[in-house]
Homo-oligomer: A and B are copies of this chain.
Amino acid sequence: MNLIEQARLAKKASSSLRMLDSETRNRVLLTFADLLIRNSDEVITANREDLTEAENSGMSSAMLDRLMLNEARIKAMAEGIRQVASLEDPLGKVLEDRVIPSGIRLKKITVPIGVIGIIFESRPNVTADCAALCFKSGNACVLKGGKESYRSCKAIVDAMKEALQSCGVSEDAVMLAERPSHAETAEFMKCREYVDLLIPRGGRNLIRAVVENAEVPAIETGAGVCHVFVDAAADLKMAEEIVINAKCSRPSVCNAMETLLVHEAAAKAFVPQIVSLLKEKGVIIYGDEKARALCDGLKEAEEASWSTEYDDLIMNLKIVSSVQEAAEHIETYGTHHSEAIISEDDESVRYFMESIDSACLYHNASTRFTDGFEFGLGAEIGISTQKLHARGPMGLSELTSYCYRLEGKGETR
């Protein structure tokens, strides 16, 4: 089926979703989880076909691993779906309830957004994850995964459709794009009539392509050039632990540190020590002139280094003369994701917190905590790095909008 036709059907289904009660939505999700387990064999067979084709076409082993499903991974997916079912209902929440000057009673209430289009790479688990989050929040969704994972995604969506049907809900609530052409995908991203929101999940190129080509509102997610600033008045032992954690605990994720900024007053005591620890962990470091003067073996940082998201055991190191210079550097080269200051000085901390325009600002903690689960949202559909609608980790609440319901007694104006 054509992708625009799928979007049209999803839009139609979304009107009935808006009226489903919480219990029915949860029943669908629990059934979906059970069916995924029950259909494990079909899912794994479909996945094998995807894997064979991908292998033959020369996919890298890292990508093949992301594409691969086995019993344990299917179990983890089902567990994730059950967890989403157990979360608090984000719909029907009364955000405001007051009487406006005319005497009318105004209630501001959370409602679904409508139809959410999710564009992602060849990772089948994203299918289950997004289908569950969108459905729990009353939204229909159109999922467009990488074409290499189509059979796997289809087996997962088939289970969701079976769950929807068995609970008497329109199957069109979850749509999987059927390997659409580029032209079809481009049209989909402009289809404001049927699609209310686009969320790109994946690498920078994917996100950029969506943001530049979409007319449907899109949320930018995941670009993370995150910074840690070690101030003059830092507890250096704490700084050491946080820097190692922020860089090394999982370098491939967006909340990992890419650039370390060190106050010149702390540089002599801190830099040689941290560089040696980082090197032990295999980290390659690009340093500015001052940093290179303090220790050997640093590569020379270039202008482009400061805005590079390495997603790997590679980082930048720069010596700054003040918290102001640190903040200015972050504003110039950062992606407004997550930044940390390590300091015992209240004035520096205040300046850092108030002057930097990022989604998450940490004092004496690692940037690695920027994550829906760590924030207690129970789930995450992405980390927004834009300022409209949602910022930082997006959970179920961020997949809702609101409306005003006004109760009068015949008021006119």
Contacts and interface: CB of A to CB of B under 8 A. Distances in A.
Interface of A: 15, 18-19, 98, 100-102, 104, 106, 111, 113-114, 192, 196-197, 211-212, 215, 217, 219, 235, 238, 241-242, 244-246, 249, 331, 353-355, 357-366, 368-370, 374-376, 386-389, 391-392, 401-413
A363 B100 contact: no
A361 B18 CA distance: 15
What secondary structure prevails in chain A residues at the interface with B? mixed
Contact of A388 (B197, B355, B412): B197
Contacts of A353: 405
Nearest to A355: B19
A100 B369 contact: yes
Given A18-B355, A365-B407, A365-B412, 8 more contacts: A15-B331, A102-B369, A360-B404, A361-B403, A361-B404, A365-B408, A366-B411, A391-B403
Nearest to A215: B212
Contacts of A217: 217, 386, 388
Given A241-B410, A412-B368, A389 B388 contact: yes
A409 to B, nearest CB: 6
A391 B401 contact: yes
Given A357-B111, A376-B98, A386-B217, A249 B403 contact: no
A196 B359 contact: no
A412 B249 contact: yes
Nearest to A98: B376
A90 to B, nearest CB: 14
A389 B353 CA distance: 24
